[in-house]
Each structure stands twice: as structure tokens, then as C-alpha cells.
Amino acid sequence: MASSEGLSVSTVPKDVDRTWLDHMHEWVSTVDHKRLGVLYIFSGLFFFILGGLEATAMRAQLAIPANDLVEPAEFNRLFTMHGTTMVFLVGMPIVTGFGNYLIPLMIGARDMAFPRLNAWGFWMFFFGGIVLYMSYFASMGLYGAGTAPDVGWFAYSPLTGRAFSRGNATDYWILGILISGFGSMSGAINMLTTTLTMRCPGMTMRRIPLFVWMMLVVSFLMLLALPVLTAAQVMLLFDRFLGAHFFDTQAGGDAVLWQHFFWFFGHPEVYILIVPGFAYASEIIPVFSRKVIFGYVTMVAASICIGLVAVGVWAHHMFTVGMGRGLDIWFAIITMVVGIPTGIKLFNWIATMYGGKIRFRVPMLFAIAFIGQFLLAGLTGIMLSGAPFTWQLSDSYFVVAHFHYVLIGGLLFTVFGACYFWFPKMFGWMMSERLGLWHFVLFFIGFHLTFTTMHIQGLLGMPRRIYTYEPDRGWAIWNAITSAGVVLQGLGVAFFLLAIFMAFRQKKPAGPDPWDAWTLEWSTSSPPPEYNFLSLPEVRSRRPLWDLKHPEDPDWEHE
């Protein structure tokens, strides 16, 4: 190995001596949780650009009535690839990436429990994404039918049957998601094991940062939900390749069974995506309010409740199937129950800010916007939990508005916040506050233009997944506004990319602790050395750095 001739610092080759191939080799063969975390996050951002372009194409088509910019069949592929990409290739890797990067640092460990499995997981995810996108080039197959998959992100039967989906496009969907699912499962095993077994001295479960607690809930949900999807996908492969009839109604199979399998995975999945958003907010808000998080124990309890209830509500996505009264009622009520722990969390974030000395820096701006937007998203969610209400609005733009409020207003905003917050730790450079502000303002206005108006189209009866509409429906003006918002969001993202680029160019040093924060990752250098901590830290409270900075009034006297 490279450094075996000598261990002292001076013999380590300096950056200038290494070619880009050496760098590449280091990255592809790495088992370091920090590098893998960065790989996950940057691949996620890469796919985010792809998914964003797909969305832009759809909104361009819908901007005016009776438009013919995008063909009907192409439109189907666009919304399928957009949804699949955003959930599986953007949300999942970014969530796993931040978990990977931060969990060991926050609990005072030198790496994840299974570093090589970690690398395997990343590559499975990455190749899974490539396989999905290969469909654009390779799925013509013998039939010349279709390129990218066009069955929607939940791939309902019978659309996925051989008879309705010829060629291999649907198979690419199955395989891509199946492969990347293995990556996520191994990531979950790793995060779970690391948190449970590798905490530094004094880091009891009552002292781990809320981020770590929430990622624990997320890992649990991943392990519970993903295998079900994987199994269902294998069954679908059997249907398609071996002539099985699991989901083939005409041969005695059951199309609704697929829906149950999919949503048994799908609803926990949406919590797998939003709870990390809670996790970022729970770290950012206290630091920028200069206050300790309000109600740590309640927050943990609420997270666990959400995790438990989240696995019992899946069929609220199936109210229109005709499940029968008993099931409709059960799933409606239990869905309303989710609102209780979720509401508690909102109060705790607000109470954390209340009376604090708030610093309106870019990460905090994103977190504050998240609170309001997530509240609205939760309210439309509660509305949709009433089964008769959903009968009216299911598969309309109202539902599309609801889940984009959660996924963008909730998750993506906190992800942006998290990027500005932890970027200095990951790379050692500050991101520009000015560019960040542009990013925030443009994206915020664009988001509301697009998605707040979208509720109205839904109420006016516009169905989702239509490629065009007639001018006389009264939807035109709202669609024009919705599409206009996309331009601003695109500009916002451009400022984000510019801010990342400029940070590497300008190299404004961040120092180990740019935000005057309190969790362990800020006690080591930025970027942290490969081994994270020279000697393992010892902690006595939930805010170890506070204790060191304020020996006259340490936290452990209060906890």
C-alpha cells in the first residue's frame, strides 16, 4: 500500500504529485464513510439535475392548453422517470449520504460498522441508477416498443404486464430499482449497527444528537419496507419472464395485491424521505436560535411514534380502489393519528426558536421555510386522509401539490439547508452567503408559484398525468403560473450550483466550527481527517461542545 514505506507525515505524497487517475482510484476504492457520503450526495445532486430537467419538460408542455411540445407517450415516460428518479435516485442517496457522513462523526466513531459493505451499498445504488437510465438507450429490444419506462413511479398492474408493456422498458424499471434497493438496505443495516454499537464513551442513547435518533428510525423503516418492494419486484419479474401470474387478473392473479405491496413499501418510503428532513432541521434550528432543542425526549418519542404508525397507514393511497368500508375507515383514522406526533414536532421546533437569539443565515432560512411549508403539507395530508374527500381529489393535481409540498417544501428545503450547514465541514470552505440568499429567495418564490397554485387546479378538477388539456376548462391561467414558477426554481438551483463552484474556487476557510455549534462533528478539523478523531471523545451531555465552551454552565448539570 502507498504509505507502507513510512508512516510519518512527510513521506505522504503531496497533492501535486498525484495524477487525476490516482485521485479517481482513491475515490472508487474508498471505504471511508465520509468519502462514500460525499459520493452519495453528489450522485444524488447529479440525478436531481436529470429529474429536474424532466420536470421542466413536462411543465413546458403543460404551460399552455392544447400544446404539442411533448408527445403523449413521451410525456408518460417523463413523469415515470421523474418520479422514480426523485424518490429512488435523489431522495434516497442524499438521505443515506448525510447519514453516512454524519452519524460516525456525531457519535464519536472512526468509521461505520461495516465499511466495505458501505462501499458495496453505494455502488449498488449507483449502478442501479445507471441501469434505469440505460433504458433510454437500450430498451428498444426486439419489439421496438417504448424506450424509458412509462408505467408511473408506482408501476401499477396491469400496466406492467407483458401484454400492456412490451419491450424491456418496464424490466429496466424493475431492475434499476431492485438493484439500488439493495444499496439502501445495506446502508440501513450499517447506520443501525453503527448507532447501536459504536458510540464513544459517555454517548448514551439519551445523549445522541436528534439527527442520529431520527436516522435510526429511518433505518428501521428502510429495513422494514424495502424488502417488501424487492420481493414484489421479483414476483413481477417472475410474471414477466417466467409466465407467473401473481398480478395478472385475467389468469387469476390480483392487481390490487401489487398496490398493497407497493404502498406497504411506499408510505414508509415517504417517511424515509421526510424524517431525515426533520433530522436536519433538528440540528440546524437550535444552532441558529442559540438555544437547546426544546423537548429532546418528546422529539425522540414522536419520531418513534411516527415510525411505528407509518407502517400502518399504507392503504390510504388506495381509497379509490374499493377496498370496502371497514378498511377505508381503519386507514382513514390511523392516518389522522399520524398528525399528532407530527404536530408535536412542529411545536417543538417553534418552541426552540421562541425567545432565541436567531441568526438568519442561509441554513436557517431554509429551515424556517420548511416549518411553514411542512405544516401546510401536513394539513392537506390530513384532508386527504378523509376517504370521501380523496374520492373527490385522488389522482388530481391536489394530490400532486400535497406531496410536492412535503417532498420539496419539506425534504428538499432542509436538504439545501443541510448542504449550506455541513458543506464547510465536508470540504473546509465556506459557501457564499450572498449566493445562498439568491438561491433561497428565487427558489422560495418559485416553489410557491408552482405548488401553491397547483392546489387550485386540483380543486378545479384537473387530473394528474394528463399530457394536455383543452383551453375551455379554466385551468390555463393556473397552469401558466405553475410553469412560470419552474423558471425561478431553476434559477435558484443554478445559484446553488454556482455557490458550490465558487466555494471551491474562492477557498474561504471555514475552520473547524464555523457556526459555533455543539455536536461532535464540529470538534474535529474541516474536512475531518480520515480517522475522524485522534482520540475518541468522551461526552457527558447532549451538547459536548457546549460543555467545553462553557465550563461555568455545562449542560450535564441540567440533563
Partner 1 sequence: MTENEEKESLSLPASTAAPLFFAFGLVLLLASLVTNVIFAYVGAVIAVLGAHGWWREMLPREHIEPVPVQPLSERAPEITPQPASVEHLVVGEDGHRVRLPLEYHPYATGLRAGIAGGIAMAVVGGIHGLVAAGSVWAAFNGFASIVMPLFGASPPPDMLSFHPGIMVAALGVHIALSLLIGIVYSSVLPMLPGHPRLWGGIVAPIVWTAAGWAAVGLVTPDGAGAVSWGWFIASQIAFGLVAGEVVSRSTPVRTLQSYTLSGRAGLEATPAQGHPEDHS
Pick 395 or 538: Cβ nearer ligand HEM: 395
Give the number of other CB atoms < 10 A from CB of residue 403: 17
CA distance 150 to 74: 8
CA distance 34 to 36: 5
How many Å is the maximal CA-CA distance in the chain? 78
Q: Which of 315, 421, 317 is nearest to 367 (CA)?
A: 421
* Residue selected from 164, 354, 501, 504 as contacting partner 1 according to rule CB under 8 A: 354
Query: CB of 462 within 8 A of CB of 397?
Result: yes
Residue numbers 27-46 binding ligand HEM by CB under 6 A:
none
CA distance 220 to 196: 12
Q: Which stretch binds partner 1 (CB under 8 A): 50-58, 80-88, 118-126, 251-259?
A: 118-126
CA distance 363 to 464: 33
DSSP H helices, 198-254, are 210-237
Strand partners, 528: none
Pick 156 or 427: Cβ nearer Cu ion: 156
Q: How far is the CB of 487 from partner 1 (least distance, A)?
A: 29
Query: CB of 83 within 8 A of CB of 153?
Result: yes
Residue numbers 260-289 binding ligand HEM by CB under 6 A:
270, 273-274
Residue numbers 453-492 binding partner 1 by CB under 8 A:
459
Task: Print the binding letters for residues 55-94 with partner 1: x by CB under 8 A, - otherwise.
Answer: ----------------------------------------
Query: CB of 121 within 8 A of CB of 186?
Result: yes
Q: How far is the CB of 260 from ligand HEM (least distance, A)?
A: 14
Q: How far is the CB of 482 from ligand HEM (least distance, A)?
A: 17
Q: Which stretch binds partner 1 (CB under 8 A): 56-64, 152-160, 475-483, 522-530?
A: 522-530
Report the chain's C-alpha Rg in angstroms.
Answer: 24
Residue 385 touches ligand HEM, criterion: CB under 6 A: yes
Pick 58 or 393: Cβ nearer partner 1: 393
| 98 Cβ neighbours under 8 A, 6+ residues apart | 37, 41, 276, 279, 280, 415, 418, 422
Q: Which stretch binds partner 1 (CB under 8 A): 48-56, 134-142, 216-224, 275-283?
A: 134-142
Residue numbers 262-281 binding Cu ion by CB under 5 A:
267
Phi, psi of 186 (to 5 degrees): -70, -35
Q: Which of 258, 182, 194, 260 is nearest to 223 (CA)?
A: 182
Pick 167 or 446: Cβ nearer partner 1: 167
- Return the half-sphere exposure (C-beta side, CA atoms, 13 A cut-off) of residue 64: 3
Q: 465 is written with which cell numbers?
A: 398525468
Q: How far is the CB of 375 from ligand HEM (least distance, A)?
A: 10
Residue numbers 359-418 binding partner 1 by CB under 8 A:
359-360, 383, 386-389, 391-393
Pick 139 or 390: Cβ nearer ligand HEM: 390
Pick 373 or 489: Cβ nearer ligand HEM: 373
Residue 197 touches partner 1, criterion: CB under 8 A: no
Residue numbers 355-394 binding Cu ion by CB under 5 A:
none
| 145 Cβ neighbours under 8 A, 6+ residues apart | 166, 167, 169
Pick 207 or 267: Cβ nearer Cu ion: 267
Pick 196 or 333: Cβ nearer Cu ion: 333
Residue number closest to ligand HEM, CB atom: 381
Q: How far is the CB of 66 from partner 1 (least distance, A)?
A: 26
* Residue selected from 51, 149, 276, 378 as contacting ligand HEM according to rule CB under 6 A: 378
